[in-house]
């Protein structure tokens, strides 16, 4: 029976696709990829006979129509998506018509651009006693935000915020963060084309200088904005260490030094 796989291609670097995703691409009869972002992964790993198409100019109906048509001809059909398919990827809108058509489908997760962006800058999304929470969100543009999810409300938590699809709305981000109680000196990380060989740009900025810094770096698209009290922690002299590796902390796999000494 045919199956349509929604595969996360990762953030850009073709090596960041999962082994499972790559193996499915290698045996796929047809692949529909989402624009230039994921074309390299598709063409690099696919077999010679594989039909490869770009969905750039397609409507949702055309995309699902294509997937349904190809599923009638091939055992493995792939919809290749950027990053992870579950984030801003119209996944459910594509799965529903397949369900209606009685076509089996599955999802292979991918490395999201949020993860690739912090990796590019060697930053951590969480830090003990600083923040233990990450919010993946976007600023309201043409897509309205549901009630309670405006940036001012979310930013009041003072935790890590990863802002997708928001690079054209920097001035709103600046004013919303200040309204939510962030200091204007607070650090912000912007990564354009994270993990893309030779194209990645990392900008370290502050809330106050964010707009000017992004303009100076000519970043207008494909960027992740990370606002977090953890940024820059690599150079802090005082760091609360993770309990996991603390010598005085016992967990399932390791006894604390104190308990080990008592035993011996
Ligand atoms: N599913 C994707 C997100 C798709 S929405 C994921 O998990 O990453 C598209 C947005 O993702 C862009 O506007 C940008 O904010 C972000 N993005 C995608 N690829 C990126 C990359 N390589 N570097 C930085 N941001 C990226």
Pocket test of ligand 1: the residue of 164, 191, 196, 201 to mutate, having most ligand atoms within 8 Å of its CB, is 164
Give the tens place of pLDDT for each residue, 185-239. 999 999 999 999 899 999 999 999 999 999 999 999 999 999 999 999 999 988 8
Question: What CATH code is assigned to 113-235?
Answer: 3.30.950.10
| Average of per-residue pLDDT across 163-167 | 97
Could you give the C-alpha distances from 96 to 6, 91, 104, 140, 257, in angstroms and in order?
Answer: 13, 9, 11, 26, 54
What pLDDT is recorded for position 176?
Answer: 97
The structural domains of the chain, with segments of one domain joined by +, span 3-108, 113-235
Identify which of 229, 232, 256 has the alpha carbon closest to the alpha carbon of residue 243.
256
| Res. 244: pLDDT tops 70 | no
Work out which ligand 1 atom sits closest to the CA atom of 87: 1
Shortest-distance Cα residue to atom 4 of ligand 1: 88
Half-sphere exposure of 29 (CA within 13 A, CB side): 15
Range in 69-73, 95-99, 125-129, 245-249 with the lowest mean pLDDT: 245-249
Give me the CATH topology for the region 3-108: Cobalt-precorrin-4 Transmethylase; domain 1 (3.40.1010)
What pLDDT is recorded for position 54?
Answer: 92
| Average of per-residue pLDDT across 147-174 | 97
CA pair distance 109, 86, nearest whole angstrom: 8
Pocket test of ligand 1: the residue of 6, 35, 82, 165 to mutate, having most ligand atoms within 8 Å of its CB, is 82
């Amino acid at each position: 029976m045919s199956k349509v796989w929604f595969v996360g291609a990762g953030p850009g670097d073709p090596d960041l696709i999962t082994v499972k995703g790559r193996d499915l691409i290698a045996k796929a009869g047809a692949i529909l990829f989402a624009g230039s972002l994921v074309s390299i992964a598709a063409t690099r790993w696919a077999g010679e006979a594989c039909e490869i198409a770009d969905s750039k100019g397609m409507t949702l109906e055309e995309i699902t129509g294509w997937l349904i048509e190809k599923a009638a001809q091939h055992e493995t059909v792939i919809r290749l998506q950027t990053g992870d398919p579950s984030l801003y990827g119209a996944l459910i809108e594509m799965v529903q018509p397949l369900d209606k058509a009685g076509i089996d489908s599955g999802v292979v997760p991918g490395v999201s651009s949020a993860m690739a962006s912090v990796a590019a800058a060697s930053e951590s999304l969480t830090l003990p006693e600083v923040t233990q929470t990450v919010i993946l969100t976007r600023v309201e543009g043409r897509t309205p935000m549901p009630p309670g999810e405006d940036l001012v409300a979310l930013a009041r938590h003072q935790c890590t915020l990863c802002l997708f699809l928001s690079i054209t709305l920097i001035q709103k981000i600046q004013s919303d963060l200040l309204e939510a109680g962030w200091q204007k000196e607070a650090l912000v990380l912007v990564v354009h084309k994270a993990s893309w060989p030779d194209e990645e740009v990392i900008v370290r900025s502050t809330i106050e200088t964010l707009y000017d810094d992004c303009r100076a770096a000519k970043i207008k698209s494909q960027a992740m904005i990370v606002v977090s009290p953890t940024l820059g922690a690599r150079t802090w002299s005082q760091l609360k260490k993770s309990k996991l590796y603390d010598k005085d902390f016992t967990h399932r796999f390791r006894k604390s030094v104190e308990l080990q000494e008592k035993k011996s």
